[in-house]
Structure 1
């Protein structure tokens, strides 16, 4: 059996970044993050390094290997704490990676040693070491800045209790501004104001250094795993959409053109027998066969447009949409604002979104009017199809929306369906360029 990747539920990440604090709250949160970085990093460094050092020293014994595994798991715990701190105090999206876990039912030794085979475990050990450096920097700068700011802003209050000596020279005297208590108080107050104004930027700088290093070591593999999972989902959706399209095409051909061709063959055979005995009936049969032929050709053309619309290929998306809208049985108002040249997969996806939505409107909505908007803005094409019908549409009910969602997932697109009962339906698709 092989190890598997699992995402712990405790570290499961929201799809969007947590709310980032603003204003004074942000400064306080970032200061708290920086001031707590050093003690946490110091404890992590001491515990992990001591554990690993003993484990390496005793590696020739069985207990040494277990100590190394324990040290790795301790580093994993501190890494989890750091992700929680980044999400809660900085409002950062800090995804938890999927760890390599032993298969269910594995023995003690396999479960104990599997973390040593996980690259993420060693990245977290590295964080336990180098995090002390950036944590010390963040702690020192933040503490000094707050202390100096507080001293400067409050010096005029407690200055009167400071013993005065002829040998002591204050900062104002050293700078040649005078030696009076008032001058010293005003200078410290000015420095305090400067430090107060620069405090958010100084704290943010050291916090960014510390948190960015944590993001790289503790979260970069999680982001890569998320991207791989997204690509895998897109590929699966593309396969399902293709399979569904092939099944639908096969069903449409079987129920439509194939049946007509069978009937055409039978009509021609009957006309051949009637030709000598009853020429007039034979002519009528042949006329009916010709009508069947025209209907079959029209249906085949309709099916071919569902596979790859010729007008879309030859003249582009705007022309293909104009033709489609002109053939809709429901009056449609349209707004099409897209570049003349779009990626082929985007054009095809937009075309099928509009085609499927208009088909559903014609078949199921009982609408009296509809609107279609296709607008490219900010690297995304937004397709919005709305009607004033009976509503009640939902992707889980079929109506082609489920297959359409799969088709959009294959091109990293999204589909939203809003359809309250008796108030119409709005289908919104967004397809990235």
Structure 2
């Protein structure tokens, strides 16, 4: 794997490629980026003309009615460029809703920076994109000149720069060598042109310093609230399980024991039957207590590994399920319990709602994150808001600062993925 970054838009000037192939690959990527930049440059040019028109009409008062729509269009065009640059390098975080009034827009730094980007990208981005697109075609045209020069009128048999008219084969091969030179120039300058085309956007459309930290604090606040909600929901579930199950069984045991004491003297046979019923109720209460404890932290996680615990879930699933667990060692109890909960809840949904014939669970540890994936070949169409427990899975995962994704197109297959931070 190469050790140098050849990306032209990674936020820095491109590193020198290691060889011809690396340079060609960087040039190809840069060419694609330049072509994409022409699209946003044309939008920026149209936006620039509209900004000028709006500013001129504001002098007569008419343009004031156009200001809100113009500002929204400006943010939309800038957002397109942020999305394009984010696909080719570090992500550029988009801004929130901006001002809609002229006075607020004039004093808003982000709006002024977007206007500056529109002006620079409309001119520089278009020029660099057109030149970047012309160079490869010029190289190919001149390099292939000996193949077609005899098919055109003599007056048109000239190289791309039109310096002379070719009249013989040596001249044709000279043009071909010129095409090779153009190719070398293309490989050398296109990455820099792509970087230069992206530079105004990365400089002017990037958020102010501290935005990442603010967003991170907001995300942590949200996940903390989700963790508290998940904790409260878990406490309510445990309370309902104890109140509706074990507590009622223990009350029944108490009642039956009291009736047995009163019946011992006058009806020993009846007392024995009541004691037998009390024993059965006590055993049921004990079983329900064990089920509640297992739901809090399955003992199999403490006694065995996460892979063994998931294999047990797959073995008890009504749908045939295959488990691939590539994990070494143990993780924090909260991480393993969450992974177990994700798989258990998902397999329950698969058995109840998917109509699947097969399911698969994949777990592996990579780069400090535990990745859990559950797939099935069912009918698809799973919805987090459909009451199937998927919203609870998301909250449980995000409570650990994890990432939850769900892909379930109609007709299937359904893929649920959870990434949990677990250290190195």
Give the shorter-chain TM-score range: 0.5 to 0.7
Matched, 1:320 2:324: no
Q: Which among 88, 94, 115 is matched to residue 105 of structure 2?
A: 115
Cα distance in 1 for partners of 2:28, 2:67 equals: 38
Residue pair 1:138, 1:203 contacting (<8 A) in 2 also: no
From the superposition, tell whether residues 262 and 393 of structure 1 become closer, same or farther in structure 2 (CA, over 3 Å).
Answer: farther
- TM-score, normalised via structure 2 length: 0.61
The SS at the match of 2:403 is coil
Once the two structures are TM-superposed, the CA of residue 295 in structure 1 deviates from its matched residue by: 1.8
The SS at the match of 1:373 is strand
Q: Which has the larger radius of gyration?
A: 1
Determine the structure 1 residue equivalent to 2:117.
Answer: 127
From the superposition, tell whether residues 188 and 408 of structure 1 become closer, same or farther in structure 2 (CA, over 3 Å).
Answer: same
Cα distance in 1 for partners of 2:384, 2:241 equals: 21
Determine the structure 2 residue equivalent to 1:11.
Answer: none
Residue pair 1:141, 1:202 contacting (<8 A) in 2 also: no
The SS at the match of 1:335 is strand
Matched, 1:337 2:328: no
Residue pair 1:408, 1:414 contacting (<8 A) in 2 also: no
Residue pair 1:382, 1:431 contacting (<8 A) in 2 also: yes
From the superposition, tell whether residues 120 and 256 of structure 1 become closer, same or farther in structure 2 (CA, over 3 Å).
Answer: same
* 1:355-402, Cα deviation, whole Å (9 max, x unpaired): 22444567x4799986552332766624336599x9997655534344
Q: Which among 207, 212, 220 is matched to residue 194 of structure 2?
A: 207
Q: Which among 390, 397, 403 is matched to residue 412 of structure 1?
A: 403
Once the two structures are TM-superposed, the CA of residue 282 in structure 1 deviates from its matched residue by: 3.0
- TM-score, normalised via structure 1 length: 0.60
Runs of 5+ consecutive residues of structure 2 not aligned to the other structure:
1-26, 157-162
From the superposition, tell whether residues 428 and 265 of structure 1 become closer, same or farther in structure 2 (CA, over 3 Å).
Answer: farther
From the superposition, tell whether residues 282 and 138 of structure 1 become closer, same or farther in structure 2 (CA, over 3 Å).
Answer: same
> How do 1:204-283 and structure 2 match up within 5 A?
204-218=191-205, 220=207, 224=212, 234-235=223-224, 237-283=226-272
Residue pair 1:350, 1:383 contacting (<8 A) in 2 also: no
Cα distance in 1 for partners of 2:382, 2:36 equals: 50
Residue pair 1:75, 1:128 contacting (<8 A) in 2 also: no
From the superposition, tell whether residues 115 and 236 of structure 1 become closer, same or farther in structure 2 (CA, over 3 Å).
Answer: farther
Residue pair 2:142, 2:175 contacting (<8 A) in 1 also: yes
* 1:212-239, Cα deviation, whole Å (9 max, x unpaired): 4404532557995887776666555544
Cα distance in 2 for partners of 1:196, 1:35 equals: 24
Q: Which among 95, 98, 102 is matched to residue 96 of structure 2?
A: 98
Determine the structure 1 residue equivalent to 2:181.
Answer: 194
From the superposition, tell whether residues 272 and 432 of structure 1 become closer, same or farther in structure 2 (CA, over 3 Å).
Answer: same
From the superposition, tell whether residues 215 and 368 of structure 1 become closer, same or farther in structure 2 (CA, over 3 Å).
Answer: closer
* Count of aligned pairs: 369
Matched, 1:375 2:363: yes
